[in-house]
Amino acid sequence: MRTTLWASMVAVVLASGASCKKKDDAAKAMDNAASSAAKAQEDVNDQAKDVNNGRKDIIKDQQNLAKDQADVNKQQGELNAAETDLAQARERYSVAAKQRLANLDAQIQQLEARADASARDAAARLRVRRDELASRLDAIGSQVQAGWDTFKKDVDNGFDKLEKDVNDAIHK
């Protein structure tokens, strides 16, 4: 019996040692799994932060794009208004130039109505210059914005010289 008791005790000790060893392996496996899960959770959290930051960046970029588009639209509106103003100014200039041409025509006709041949010759020369000036005015619509000031200055100078010469011929 003593042998049986000893054998039983040894069996219990061995069984409990094996069971402890199994328990230790299971605990280590569980700890490893928990550690892996914690690391995976950290990775998920980091990736979630990256995605959220990316979304915030996209939203910010979209807001900036919307603001930039609004600025472009505003500038386009200002450009359209400036082009309209320029077209109106050109039209007013054209109307004023045509009025000056009409005044020159009246003065040249007055000169042509004189009886002397020198007045009629002067009127013919002045009419040629008037016609040249009128043909330059016909090109007003094709003038680019960059050349507008030069065009206007040339036409104004042409009018000034022609009007002076017409007045001088009339008062001779």
What confidence tens digit (pLDDT) does each residue in 61-108 have?
A: 899 988 989 899 999 999 899 888 888 888 898 899 999 999 999 999
Distance CA 54, CA 85 (A): 46
pLDDT over 70 (residue 158): yes
Distance CA 60, CA 28 (A): 47
Higher pLDDT, 38 or 17: 38
pTM over 0.95, yes/no: no
